Amino acid sequence: MSGVQCIQDKIWIPQFGTKRRVDIYLPDGYDRNTKERYPVLYMQDGQNIDEPGGVFGHWNLKKSMIKLTDAGYSCPIVVAVHHAGKDRIVEYSPKMPWTRSKALGFDYLQFLSKSLKAYIDNRYRTKTQRIHTGIGGSSMGGLISLYAAMMYPEIYSKYIVFSPSLWLRPSFYSNEQLYLKLSHAQIYLYAGTQESKTLVQNLMEFKKMIRSEKKKDQVQLRLSVRSGAGHQEQHWAKELPLAIKWLFNDSIISVKNKI
């Protein structure tokens, strides 16, 4: 079988006592190259990753994966977890000591990093080490991915943070103490200039903070700013292959040797 395969599954979330749809995208060649193992990228808002007819559009993941493969790059297995609908914001909200509003982000990350990762590693040919494991998302999905850099730096080393909702947790771009455990990691940041008055500046502050003396040799960081782009799926779709290429570029392969 050729091309990118999408396997739809429903997985139990013990933290919430319910099942959730999860789409697993297997790169081209997964069935042919049976001895090869793959890195894994865990993405939020699975409904918007590659599902035609979505209310807000989608990211064209399969098309991007095929283009990257044709250009000679290997792609990770992408695990796209569908969001919780009306409870999406609550589920993606990081729980902090000073938080008064309802926030289930800690529980959600626990599911992702423990239950779901074990499930995926047991059923697919994955590279299980943190150096081969990434997490990403946009908006609230970008915020929860940044939260993972604080809570589970031993699980993830690669982060896709598109247009994060930093207005909800301003300390995320100003308090370097939150990232004390983060090391040997890569973070791909993105923002459009038409999203808000503060987003680009806040990400620049985050970049400056991470590139301080304490972290400059431990964390690789790339900030992409797209002029005229708003807070929309179509812009994140254009940025996704660039992020995957940069984060997983150590797995470049030769097109001539591709089976």
Task: Compute the residue count for the chain.
Answer: 259
Q: 241: closest CA among 162, 147, 132, 127? A: 162
Radius of gyration of the chain (CA): 17
* Per-residue pLDDT, 56: 64
CA angle 34, 24, 125 (to 5 degrees): 30
* Per-residue pLDDT, 189: 97
* Per-residue pLDDT, 98: 61
Q: Report the distance separating Cα 103 and Cα 94, nearest Å.
A: 6
Sheet holding 185-192, edge to edge: 5-13, 18-26, 77-81, 40-43, 133-138, 158-162, 185-192, 219-226
pTM of the predicted protein model: 0.92
Q: Which fold has domain 5-257?
A: Rossmann fold (3.40.50)
CA angle 86, 95, 151 (to 5 degrees): 115
Buried b (16+ CB within 10 A) or exposed e, 214-251: ebeeebbbeeeebeebebebebbbebbbebbbebbeee
* Per-residue pLDDT, 54: 60
Q: Which residues have a Cβ under 8 Å from the Cβ of 155 and sit 6 or more positions away?
A: 113, 117, 130, 133, 148
Contact 175, 149 (CB under 8 A): no
* Per-residue pLDDT, 252: 41
* Per-residue pLDDT, 125: 98
- Going residue by residue through the chain, which has 259 residues, state the pLDDT in tens, using 9 for 90 and above: 458 999 999 999 999 999 999 999 999 999 998 999 999 999 999 999 987 666 567 789 999 999 999 999 989 999 999 999 999 999 999 987 666 668 999 999 999 999 999 999 999 999 999 999 999 999 999 999 999 999 999 999 999 999 999 998 899 998 988 998 998 999 999 999 999 999 999 999 999 998 875 666 789 999 999 999 999 999 999 999 999 999 997 544 333 333 2
SS3 224: strand
Beta bridge partners of residue 221, listed in sequence order: 187
* Per-residue pLDDT, 251: 41
H-type alpha helices, the chain: 61-70, 88-91, 105-110, 117-123, 140-151, 199-210, 233-247
> Distance of CA 155 to CAs 67, 201, 212, Å?
28, 29, 23
* Per-residue pLDDT, 83: 94
Q: 200: closest CA among 164, 236, 154? A: 164
* Per-residue pLDDT, 102: 85
